[in-house]
Structure 1
Amino acid sequence: MSWSWEYDPDDLADGAPEAFIAQVEEVADELTRAASALYGDGTAFTGPNPRGATRTVDGGMFVYLVIPRSECVYIRQLTPKP
């Protein structure tokens, strides 16, 4: 496996500005590289899963969760600025 990130754009990004989505995707790439460096082969990870976290970008914020065993960063919520 290799590390990736994912979200459901039809559910989470509906109506969000394209510039905000682009920022979220850019930061998601960075988070995925960081998780890969920290956990390496996530399929062999035996510790507890990290807690979810929030990240602020210029256009709003988002909530994400890293699951090392799945080698994935899941974007759980998108909140663009009004």
Structure 2
Amino acid sequence: MSDWRWEYNTDDPAYHTNGLPTGVVAEVERLATELVALGRDAARAGHPTGREGGLRSFDILGGRGVVQFLVVPRHECLYVCNIIWSG
């Protein structure tokens, strides 16, 4: 099991989640939890493919939204940077 953690990249999670349906927030948090289990390998998950690091993204809920995240190995943390929801 990984000692990695995830968090929103602001002190106020509502900045990212305000106005989103609870199911969307739950899906983002579930995905973040699964990604931190990968540890350093999370830096290769999602898009863009073929390279490691930088701002990564995943489609969520059948392509109706996108979550963008940054993996910082020296902090052992995944930061959720943006949630885009088109409903």
TM bucket normalised to smaller: 0.7 to 0.9
Counterpart of 1:65? 70
Deviations 1:21-54 (A, max 9, x none): 11111110111011x2638xxxxxxxxx821111
Percent of counterpart pairs with the same letter? 31
More helix by share: 1
Consecutive unaligned residues in structure 1, runs of 5 or more: 40-48
Please list every run of at least 4 consecutive aligned residues from structure 1 whose deviation after the TM superposition is greater than 6 angstroms: none
Measured at CA, do residues 37 and 65 of structure 1 come closer, stay the same or move farther in structure 2, by a change above 3 Å? Answer: closer
Report 1:16-55 matches (<5 A): 16-34=20-38, 36=39, 38=41, 50-55=53-58
TM-score (norm 1): 0.76
Higher relative contact order (CA 8 A, sep 6+): 1
Q: Give the Å deviation of 1:15.
A: 0.4
CA distance in 1, matches of 2:17, 2:40: 28
Count of residue pairs the alignment pairs up: 71
TM-score (norm 2): 0.72
Counterpart of 1:15? 19
* Alignment root-mean-square deviation, CA: 1.9
